[in-house]
Structure 1
């Protein structure tokens, strides 16, 4: 395993969507007290760190990614003292805390944006954002579109428009104004000084915009080498500065070197190359597996791409199968795999039949793949319980702005953000002692609770515990390299030195396992035959 100073190289990081993790005060919303009380579960699971989605004061128009104060805690989640207590309690379990930083945009309730509205056109406060006059015909300043749908511009009462690449409640900062980078450097120091181990940087590609905010050429992708609002050259100078700031904190005591991981969806080497240069930040999420079908050739290509992009660089690409923005793994694995990369409107609305048994089997096999790959891995809360996407949330209970902005065409991300089931046979399944959960939990979750799975050796939870424990113990696992093994086209097999083999069966019939000691399988194996949609770990002498 990695030394203390470079813990992030092979860490198991557990993503906590705080609002849905555990409710400690009975109001139906997850909070710091609830998380602190459940730390023994995470320690037993064996994680090295937790990543917290935003917990800052926010109107919650976009699940907390519309921040109104970067140096405080929203009362829904507790207080700064509660956050400090969580950091201390996690450290007592040898668990680090990573916090989400949202530098591309803030909330319309942020004091700076309120000042900008009051200042009027030409006021210095407006330079912290992107305010522009529209066209003479009343059209927006350019043709940029919001990631959530519709124009990326909203008009204010005095006639000017402001830019928001996401929801209209999330105005983009103007990073060319010196006040913005100065403010965020102070924010980083504020949380580092409180003991956090690092940051996950939201929307990390889009902070700087091209001079003059030119139109996006017709048919051009929004994300790419020539995008006017992604991967601008100034971005990499900024991140070099952040790297120096993180490296200025001591690496020889817990939590070790401070680190950052960037949110960056990518499938283009030209886009990613600048992030791999010396002096850039430590990690860039490898989100490719989230959109990769359960097919051996596709998975191998996705893994090879990530490994190749990072080859020769100190920057790494941790592996991800689930997060708060994507449908649950077991659900994705239970639909026609041709739809994973090119989802139809029916898929986006959750109207496609899910084969739950197949999805669950493939999700178990995918877990062993995730934890056998070299480097760091992120596990989203509930992934270790084998949770499925909740598809039947009533329209009037949905919270994700995508649902409203698309008129219900896209149901949004609420289905993977349902409060966790901890115990009991009916809602709220131990999530809250008295409150009704902020998103409705489905019936029939009794078998998915941590309580039900904890002593069941065949449960997803037991599989994750066993895999993480073996990952720590086996000298081949964690950081390092892999070598693909020549095998049948319906198998995926690689080796890691010293003495480890991973194999997954994608065929329709059992496959004979290679020689060696079988140390872990995703499903029971008899007579040395690996069933379809299953995976195995093998140790060699």
Structure 2
């Protein structure tokens, strides 16, 4: 039986406008704020610089939290702000229980939590348990200890292969390019063991076969829960445990499926022992009450396998990467949405939806191509074909409206509410993503989606900060997209987001149902009914008729483009309509 036919059509009332509905998901009455929440990702170094050093800080976040409350989000997720040498923008942690001076102090963090509580915003912190910085005290101790010592056992050290151990222990590759192994010099000055790093060579992987590692991270969880955090987004949650014996792998470094190498066989990802770790973490969070959550950055496929991460005693949410990568392909979108809802309904979990984050090209730029755009994980460089921003912004507005009508939770990435594109002209000398340096510039990396935000169009650095130049240069076009300039424009991207989030909350769409409306599904359009709200997205080159009903919102307002006719859905437009 097709997953599209698992629910009864009797739950819906067909109208004259709809002759065929395909139910997928019933409305949920399960408790839990996260099940329908809109969570806003803050990339701290690029959000707001209050002390003028060119880098965003916790005080800057606190100063602007009111803007996010007025936007209509339910919670914020902070990318890493811990002590770090910043080799990978804070994902190389040297102390998990302190704030890096670049961002402020623990007192600044406490002030942020207090202001968020005042505004009824929850705060989720990024946790990076797969690896740390090579400056972490535990790794420094391992470097100075004997091979096979307890200090070395906190990490994954192995003897090399070949004559004199000159070859890496296996053929695993780093996500950032090159080998996933680096050889150290022992205390006696001779070449010694190799350590594993799935990412940069400054980010050694922890050994999660060691109970001492478990104990350390349980301490870290409690430290931040005691300070009022509402939960954790767990970085590369699928990578902590490696297969016994560390067997060779001929597939992709990121573990995604490729010909002959299904992702479920990747020996560095998705191992069964992971689930016991997260069951233990879930029990710790529940000691603090029912509203603390875990969200997995678990890039595993297929979707029914992802559902294993959000069973009732494990994670609360998992990022839906297949949805992010589906783009505007209506067939792929429909399959992904259906598969997501059915797979997650089977374990009683909500789906999440997302279009942009700090690791991918912003969707305004991704959707600005009529042909192939940048490959996943890479940015857009000065010598690449640049997207059509006007086209991309129109399509991005439509895609976001389509996403926010779906039942479940949603994640927004800072600046997308302003319609920001990627920065495409960052000089090579200013790029900071280790992907760029480790591949000799062959891969542009992710700097383009991480550029500091424009807040006030007439201020220095577009209001990001009035001191030093921002850590990454802002495009010349960004003052025109600044928040203050969009505030007073009823047709701005910002005000469309506010309208969408307000209507989404008022109509309780995150708690709703989904049935495909076949009458408006085609090779260039996709339509679903959430309760009595009809959502239609037209991805084709030509307008399509507007269904009967009460029009609530149309995405064309975000780019100031009037539809071709009041009774049509324009090319690249989404509408929300109360079905008659």
Using structure 1 for the length normalisation, give the TM-score: 0.95
Match of 1:527 in 2: 566
Cα distance in 1 for partners of 2:252, 2:216 equals 36
* Residue pair 1:501, 1:540 contacting (<8 A) in 2 also: yes
Match of 2:15 in 1: none
Gaps of 5+ in 1: 252-256
User: Does 1:127 pair with 2:160?
Assistant: no
Match of 2:469 among 417, 420, 436: 436
* Residue pair 1:427, 1:442 contacting (<8 A) in 2 also: no
Match of 2:52 in 1: 26
Match of 2:260 in 1: none
* Residue pair 1:266, 1:288 contacting (<8 A) in 2 also: no
Match of 1:263 among 276, 285, 297: 297
Match of 2:576 in 1: 537
C-alpha root-mean-square deviation of aligned residues, in Å? 2.1
Match of 2:219 in 1: 186
Secondary structure at 1:142 match in 2: coil
Match of 1:60 in 2: 86
Q: CA deviation at 1:349?
A: 7.5
Following TM superposition, the consecutive aligned residue runs of length 4 or more in structure 1 with deviations greater than 4 angstroms are: 1-5, 217-221, 337-340, 342-350
Report matched runs for 1:106-185 at 5 Å. 106-137=132-163, 138-158=166-186, 159-185=192-218
Report matched runs for 1:9-48 at 5 Å. 9-48=35-74
* Residue pair 1:293, 1:337 contacting (<8 A) in 2 also: no
Using structure 2 for the length normalisation, give the TM-score: 0.88
Match of 2:124 in 1: 98
CA offsets, 1:377-427, max 9 Å, x none?
000000000000101101111110000011111110100000000012475
Report matched runs for 1:87-486 at 5 Å. 87-137=113-163, 138-158=166-186, 159-217=192-250, 222-223=255-256, 224-251=263-290, 257-269=291-303, 271-339=305-373, 351-425=384-458, 427-475=460-508, 477-486=509-518
Match of 1:254 in 2: none
User: Does 1:493 pair with 2:521?
Assistant: no
Change (3 A) 1:189 1:18: same
Cα distance in 2 for partners of 1:370, 1:343 equals 20
Q: CA deviation at 1:288?
A: 1.9
Cα distance in 2 for partners of 1:469, 1:395 equals 41
Cα distance in 1 for partners of 2:445, 2:50 equals 27
Change (3 A) 1:479 1:268: same
Secondary structure at 1:199 match in 2: strand
State the number of aligned residues: 533
Cα distance in 1 for partners of 2:84, 2:141 equals 17
Cα distance in 2 for partners of 1:218, 1:242 equals 31
* Residue pair 2:131, 2:204 contacting (<8 A) in 1 also: yes
* Residue pair 1:225, 1:270 contacting (<8 A) in 2 also: no
CA offsets, 1:455-511, max 9 Å, x none?
111111000000000011114x112321001124321100011x1000011121211
Cα distance in 2 for partners of 1:170, 1:344 equals 19
